Amino acid sequence: MNNRVSNAFAFILFSAEFSSVLGAVSCYSLQSLCFLKIKT
């Protein structure tokens, strides 16, 4: 039981970290896209 709970907690932490990284990457690519559109 305790092992399952810690595994679930580790998975939640991992997915939160992954989604924040994914969000930062998508935000950066959106910014560069807008920058390229404004530049041209």
Tens-digit pLDDT profile for residues 1-40:
688 999 999 999 999 999 999 999 998 998 888 888 877 6
Give the domain range for residue 11.
1-40
Instruction: Determine the Cα–Cα distance for residues 11 and 16; give it in Å rounded to an integer.
Output: 9
Domains held by the chain: number: 1
> What pTM does this model have?
0.54
Instruction: Determine the Cα–Cα distance for residues 3 and 9; give it in Å rounded to an integer.
Output: 10
For residue range 18-27, list pLDDT tens digits in order.
999 999 999 8
